[in-house]
A and B are shown apart, each in its own frame.
Chain A
Amino acid sequence: MPAQNFIDDLKALGYEPEVLSENRIAFSYVVPEGKFKDQTIKLGFEIPTDWNLTPPSGPHISPRLLPIKADAAGHPERVAESPNFGQEWEYWSRPYPNWPNSRRTVKEYMKYIRHLFETQ
């Protein structure tokens, strides 16, 4: 099952994902780079049911790091509410650019997440 594959691959990378609902997970993440470096946050994903044909649409983050600005032009400012995860979460809509040219792995996706924090 795609969700289980994603979870297993996250575990193989050393993370401990908690399953919040069928395709929604969250896990502890230490921000490696950027202005939030070394902060421990909760990172959440809605795992697509057709992972890895398609990647998640972006990370959900708790506690909120940035002000909500859903109409901002894009990264790094666009931040939306995260109703499915809860009031203490925010959502960064960040479609993965050029997914077909990637290896389509969780490792690859987490590199992208790192890049998002690096460029904050």
Chain B
Amino acid sequence: MKYSVALPSYIQDQSLEHLLRGDGQEDLCFALWNPSVGKSRTTALVNEILLPNAEERTVHGNASFLPGYFERAISLAILKKTGLMFMHSHLGPGWQRMSDNDINAELTHAASTMGATGLPLVGMTLGTDGSWSARFWEKTGSRTYEKMWCETVRVIGKSFSVTYCDNILPKPKFQKELERTVSAWGDNKQADLARLKVGIVGAGSVGSIIAEAIARMGIVDIKLIDFDSLETINLDRTLNATKEDIGKSKVEVLAKALRQNATAENFKVSSIEFSVVEKDGFREALDCDVLFSCVDRPWPRSVLNFIAYAHLIPVVDGGITVRVSKVKTLKGADWKAHIVTPTRKCLECLKQYDPGLVSAERDGWLDDPTYISSLPDEHPTRRNENVFAFSLSTASLQVLQFLSMVIAPLGVSDIGGQNYHFVIGSMDIEEGGMCNQTCPYPTLIALGDNTGFIVTGKHFKAEEARRARINKSDTISLMSIFKRGESRPFSNLVIEMRKSSRSYVWWIIIVGLIILLILFFVTRF
């Protein structure tokens, strides 16, 4: 299991104000956190700082807390069903190591914290430049607790910053292929960019282009999440897909291309053949630092919206709308890109999806051709016109939004939402803006797995797509075995069938053969 911490920018501001003292001394405080458990990474989401009262800690160059402060903090953690975090500051910049006193202060409270809250104590140390180090104190034996260093500490909000633990995620070495890219913004920015774990949700026209772009820019770890298979009608828009790939999983086809085209040393791409609305796909998404939303359905968009707020993972979203006249002439085409994260408008308030349709999709209605055909022509679910050039431009806008957030040239990390109008060639910018007053998503910030909502469910079309690919693969395997192996011993044939097929298929064949043999002997004798 890997570990990380994420905190909203307003929590960062509160922490800096308290912990970075003007008199050059260290300070400390407790905080509350909620878990966000992904497939292979657990993140502590900091959602409340508990500042000390005057008599609860002493400052003497270093800082120490009194038992009453710990007791107050742990009582609140129990009441609110959160984890407990201990924060303190050091007097230098960058990622911070721990002194023996630091280790002792945290270790001696690890057991009581785990016992009271059921969650490990998380320790964080702040450097003078706003960088953090963090660790989870996990129980590794009956009375043994060990610190598990966090790979990253991420601050999410108007700006986006990451402190990396270089021991776990070292700065990548840049190969010659990246010379021009690195020269655009420097080694340090490239190192920060390259080490982000980026998820692409939707491996269709926009997703395939975004994936190619970021792989060529040197991102080391990319996760592709899509359940679907390639069809002929995708070939005019899906980068790197060919006729030979029809019927294959979109993420597998894309991953193969990325492995050839990526410029990072030790490049890693994961192909996740699930929808983000399925539990497995959702947990994979939580392993990411940033997610690109390349989907066009309400349910996955609502899930990504939820992740952006509850799990503090910025979502770079986009969308294309094409309007065609009744006589099939182009009336208009618009596409947009924006980032959703706490302190920015959410996808629902940006009207990127209709929550009224989420349940309809969850119940399978949006995949029912009869239901779809009964919707009005202009209904967003019926609109499926698209052109490679439109996807290219949308993908470009989304990648540029991502780069602005991460690289923040001249300190500008929020360029606002962009809306391009193809027919007149103009761009609208939606600056600033917060969610509507009644929007529930800001109330979910940093609640993680403790929101009480379950946004995932069974996705029938995804299950069907995976089954179809397995069945096709079994048929091809069996056909190739029978073509090749007519003169081989029967036992070898069975072994090969077991390796290559689903167990039910070879069982049916074996049982069938046995029945035939029995009938043969019965009729003969």
Interface of A with B (CB < 8 Å)?
1-2, 46, 48-50, 52-58, 70-74, 78, 80, 93, 95-101, 103-104
Interface of B with A (CB < 8 Å)?
302, 306, 348-349, 354-360, 362-363, 365, 368, 370-371, 373-376, 436, 438-441, 452-455, 457
Please name all residues of chain B whose beta carbon is closer than 8 Å to the beta carbon of A101 when the two chains form the complex: 438
Mostly helix, strand, loop or mixed at chain B's interface?
Answer: loop
Interchain CB contact under 8 A, B374 and A95: no
Please name all residues of chain A whose beta carbon is closer than 8 Å to the beta carbon of B440 when the two chains form the complex: 52-53, 104
Interchain CB contact under 8 A, A56 and B439: no
Q: Which residue of B lies closest to A47 (CB)?
A: B359
Interchain CB contact under 8 A, A2 and B362: no
Q: Which residue of B lies closest to A96 (CB)?
A: B356
Please name all residues of chain B whose beta carbon is closer than 8 Å to the beta carbon of A71 when the two chains form the complex: 370, 373-374
Q: Which residue of A lies closest to B348 (CB)?
A: A100
Check A93/B306 contact, CB under 8 A, given A48-B358, A103-B438. Answer: no
Please name all residues of chain A whose beta carbon is closer than 8 Å to the beta carbon of B371 when the two chains form the complex: 70, 80, 93
Interchain CB contact under 8 A, B355 and A99: yes
Please name all residues of chain B whose beta carbon is closer than 8 Å to the beta carbon of A55 when the two chains form the complex: 355-356, 359
The CA of A63 and the CA of B424, in the complex, are separated in Å by 54
Interchain CB contact under 8 A, B452 and A54: no
The CA of A117 and the CA of B407, in the complex, are separated in Å by 55
The CA of A74 and the CA of B377, in the complex, are separated in Å by 13
Interchain CB contact under 8 A, B365 and A57: yes
Our pick among A80, A96, A100 for the contact of B439 (Cβ within 8 Å) is A100
Our pick among A46, A72, A100 for the contact of B359 (Cβ within 8 Å) is A46
Check A56/B359 contact, CB under 8 A, given A49-B457, A78-B374. Answer: yes
- Nearest 7 CB-CB pairs, A to B? A57-B359, A95-B356, A49-B454, A54-B358, A50-B453, A96-B356, A57-B360
The CA of A100 and the CA of B441, in the complex, are separated in Å by 11
Q: Which residue of A lies closest to B358 (CB)?
A: A54
Given pairs A98-B356, A99-B355, 4 additional interface contacts (CB within 8 A):
A50-B455, A53-B306, A53-B441, A95-B357
Check A74/B359 contact, CB under 8 A, given A2-B453, A50-B455, A100-B439. Answer: no
Interchain CB contact under 8 A, B454 and A93: no
Please name all residues of chain A whose beta carbon is closer than 8 Å to the beta carbon of B438 when the two chains form the complex: 100-101, 103-104
Please name all residues of chain B whose beta carbon is closer than 8 Å to the beta carbon of A72 when the two chains form the complex: 374
Q: Which residue of A lies closest to B356 (CB)?
A: A95
Check A57/B363 contact, CB under 8 A, given A78-B374, A95-B356. Answer: yes
Check A97/B306 contact, CB under 8 A, given A46-B363, A49-B457, A71-B370. Answer: no
Please name all residues of chain B whose beta carbon is closer than 8 Å to the beta carbon of A98 when the two chains form the complex: 356
Minimum CB–CB distance from B241 to chain A (whole Å) comes to: 33
Please name all residues of chain B whose beta carbon is closer than 8 Å to the beta carbon of A78 when the two chains form the complex: 374
Interchain CB contact under 8 A, B362 and A57: yes
Minimum CB–CB distance from A14 to chain B (whole Å) comes to: 24
Interface centre among A2, A49, A54, A55 (most CB of B within 10 A): A54
Check A1/B436 contact, CB under 8 A, given A48-B359, A73-B374, A74-B374. Answer: no
Please name all residues of chain A whose beta carbon is closer than 8 Å to the beta carbon of B370 when the two chains form the complex: 70-71
Q: Please list 30 pairs of residues, one from A and one from B, whose beta carbons are closer than 8 Å in the complex, sorted by A's number.
A: A1-B452, A2-B452, A2-B454, A48-B359, A48-B362, A49-B453, A50-B302, A50-B453, A50-B455, A53-B440, A53-B455, A54-B355, A55-B355, A55-B356, A55-B359, A57-B362, A58-B360, A73-B374, A73-B376, A74-B375, A95-B356, A95-B357, A95-B360, A96-B356, A97-B356, A98-B356, A100-B348, A100-B436, A100-B438, A104-B438
Please name all residues of chain B whose beta carbon is closer than 8 Å to the beta carbon of A2 when the two chains form the complex: 452-454
Please name all residues of chain B whose beta carbon is closer than 8 Å to the beta carbon of A99 when the two chains form the complex: 354-356
Minimum CB–CB distance from A8 to chain B (whole Å) comes to: 14
Minimum CB–CB distance from B354 to chain A (whole Å) comes to: 7
The CA of A20 and the CA of B119, in the complex, are separated in Å by 35
Minimum CB–CB distance from A63 to chain B (whole Å) comes to: 22
Interchain CB contact under 8 A, A100 and B302: no
Please name all residues of chain B whose beta carbon is closer than 8 Å to the beta carbon of A57 when the two chains form the complex: 359-360, 362-363, 365
Please name all residues of chain B whose beta carbon is closer than 8 Å to the beta carbon of A73 when the two chains form the complex: 374, 376
Please name all residues of chain A whose beta carbon is closer than 8 Å to the beta carbon of B349 when the two chains form the complex: 100
Interchain CB contact under 8 A, A100 and B355: yes
Please name all residues of chain A whose beta carbon is closer than 8 Å to the beta carbon of B302 when the two chains form the complex: 50, 53-54
Check A53/B355 contact, CB under 8 A, given A93-B371, A100-B438. Answer: yes
Please name all residues of chain A whose beta carbon is closer than 8 Å to the beta carbon of B348 when the two chains form the complex: 100
Minimum CB–CB distance from A94 to chain B (whole Å) comes to: 9
Minimum CB–CB distance from B119 to chain A (whole Å) comes to: 21
Interchain CB contact under 8 A, B454 and A50: yes
